[in-house]
Amino acid sequence: MYIEGFVKIGTRTKELIKYLSAEDIAVIQHDDIDELAAEALIKTRLKAVINTGKSMTGGYYSRGTSMLVSSNIRLYDTSLEITAFKDNDFVRIRGKDLILNSSCLYSNSCQMINNEYIQQRTIECGYNHNNLLCGFINNTLEYAEKEKDFILNFTDYPKINSNMKDKCAIVVVRSSESREALASLKDFIGIKKPVLIGVDGGADTIISCGFTPDILIGDMDSVSDVGIFRSKEIILHSYLNGTCPCLERIMSLNIKYKILPMPGTSEDIALLLAYDKGASSIILIGGHSSMTDFLERGRKGMGSTLITRLKIEDRLIDYKYIKKLNTLSANNAPLHDVQSEGDLLWMKM
């Protein structure tokens, strides 16, 4: 069995997918492939993926690796550096050997990732889980101690046009399930008229469902220009010293914006903004709450998220748990009339 084709290279999957077609082989550098990266690659229907990182390191269960394999996309880990490849190189993989441009043979340099490989790494993840979790907890508590006073006492928000006082706010974070979740709330949104807050690429999700983001907040590293232009208000999440990596991009688009310097993730900041501006309830779609969620984002702890969730308490409705409850309710007689997550949300509200 062999695979061959022309390659496209990228260390940032969300940039690489813009140039991929069904005939391409993607060359990436990605340890522990995450769910969002896998979903984006799958949508391109590309031929195969060559990973110069380790698709599963065994540190924790990377959901993206199994997603690619279950979608019948051939996935190979290679011992070669990503610098060994150039865009439009022709690659053939036969067994464990890789031939580059029909001239360079790299013997025993590839491993095909299959279900057996995933099972072995999953066992390793189980062995490593407690040690990894211990380090994650320590990091969380360390940063929670550093950031708690700032987050709990912060009031210096920019003036916003959207009135959230005693209203519902929906905070949308980009995830593999966000679009489906938001679409299921179409009737709810039409009647309740909540304030829609997109966190970076979450604004694109809001737009794809036929709505307009009232607020776009984040460092703008994963939102499209369309998402920026279509949002009513732009808030740039900057470092505490005021440094804002996305400022040059935003200024080049010649749009109005506000800067909000705060620690933590942009998701945390969106939730805190809604809370401190008086939202009576906050629905979170695509949010991050587990260790794996944060490790997939390259974060070794969740200090700011812990403080944020403790602060906003029961105003928060995390949609992922509504979805899980709906799944469980299929065999639960008292909830047999519940047809969708939106129905459960009406019950909660």
pLDDT tens-digit readout, 20-36: 988 899 999 999 999 88
Q: What percent of the chain has pLDDT over 90?
A: 72
Residues 33 and 164 in one domain: no
As a whole number, mean pLDDT of residues 61-82 equals: 94
Radius of gyration of the chain (CA): 22
**Residue 217 tokens, joined:** 């907040």
Q: Is 242 within a domain?
A: yes
**Residue 233 tokens, joined:** 């208000």
The yes-or-no verdict on residue 340 having pLDDT over 80 is no
Rounded to 10 degrees, the C-alpha dihedral 136/139/140/143 comes to: -160
Residues 22 and 146 in one domain: no
* Helix axis angle, 63-70 to 115-153, nearest 10°: 140
Residues 92 and 158 in one domain: no
Residues 67 and 211 in one domain: no
Classify the C-alpha dihedral 232-259-251-16 as positive or negative.
Answer: negative
How far apart are the C-alpha atoms of 124 and 118, rounded to whole Å?
10
pLDDT band at 316 (very low <50, low <70, confident <90, very high): very high
How many domains does the structure of the chain reveal? 2
As a whole number, mean pLDDT of residues 106-133 equals: 93
On whether the CB atoms of residues 68 and 46 are closer than 8 A, the answer is: no
Listed range (211-220, 277-286, 313-322) with the worst mean pLDDT: 313-322
The yes-or-no verdict on residue 167 having pLDDT over 50 is yes
Q: Residue 251 is part of which domain span?
A: 138-348
The yes-or-no verdict on residue 279 having pLDDT over 50 is yes
